[in-house]
Amino acid sequence: MRFDIITIFPKIFDSYFSESILARARENKLIEIDVHNLRDYTNDKHHMVDDKPYGGGVGMVLKVEPIYKAVEAIKKLSFGRLRMTKRKSKRLKERVILFSAKGKRFTQNEARRLVKYDRLIMVCGRYEGVDERVAKYVADEEISIGEYVLTGGELPAMVTVDAVSRMITGVVGKEESIKDESYKKLKIKNEKLKIKTKSKDYELQTKNYLEYPHYTRPEIFSPDNGKTKWRVPKVLLSGNHKNIEKWKIKNSKIINK
């Protein structure tokens, strides 16, 4: 199985993936891990991967364009399993994952599901967030490892690689360790997320919520030279701060506990 990780801090992974069980799994060619620097997929001389958010707000947002280019380039890379799959005329099973606070909760059952793929391409967010068009059009799914805020998606990527790799035959020395470990019978329960307001002005109540989607430049991104256009919502370009605030509240998700 192959893991491709997209990040702006590739050296973070050097130590963890070079030690213990994962290091042996790589040496034995049971897994392949490749870390890609997002800045390598930019066009400007400063290698800018982020920009200010449309509609205002604190922090910077990772841009859709370099992430799209990175994912498309990685999909074209070959590796041992891919070459074998091509000879058998079978399609490669791969999944693009974006780590996000509003993603599906990562559990042991999720690890068992993901191990069925030949390749996982993982996007590590940073700063205030990632342009929502990555979640909508580039990633196949969003994953969260818990109800807390991290500085980036690098730790979730390590957690995912670790948990999924352990499901691969031969990675863990004794197969009994996998068969009898925790969360074997865990059932995933999807939480019901609902918007709650206490006035016509969409004023937020003091409750936990998942933040609204983020967008940044360009206003229109076309992955196929104009045939398809991924647009930023018009309200964020309007300059009408009241309508922008209403849009943000409306597109936030309140966690009803």
- Alpha-carbon torsion angle 169, 174, 175, 180, nearest 10: -140
Binned at pLDDT 50, 70 and 90, residue 56 comes out as very high
Fold of 2-179: Alpha/beta knot (3.40.1280)
What would the two tokens of residue 151 be?
Answer: 């500085």
Q: How far, in Å, CA of 217 to CA of 232, rounded? A: 9
Q: What is the pLDDT of residues 71-88, one digit of tens each?
A: 999 999 877 655 555 555
17-34 pLDDT per residue, tens: 999 999 999 999 999 999
Report angle CA 157, 161, 167 to the nearest 5 degrees: 150
User: What is the pLDDT confidence band of residue 248, given thresholds at 50, 70 and 90?
Assistant: very high
Largest CA distance in the chain: 62
Per-residue pLDDT, averaged over 223-250, amounts to 95
CB atoms within 10 A of CB 194: 9
Question: What residues contact residue 157 under an 8 Å CB cut-off, 6+ apart?
Answer: 5, 7, 13, 99, 122, 124
pTM for the model stands at 0.80
Distance between CA atoms of 127 and 59, rounded to whole angstroms? 6
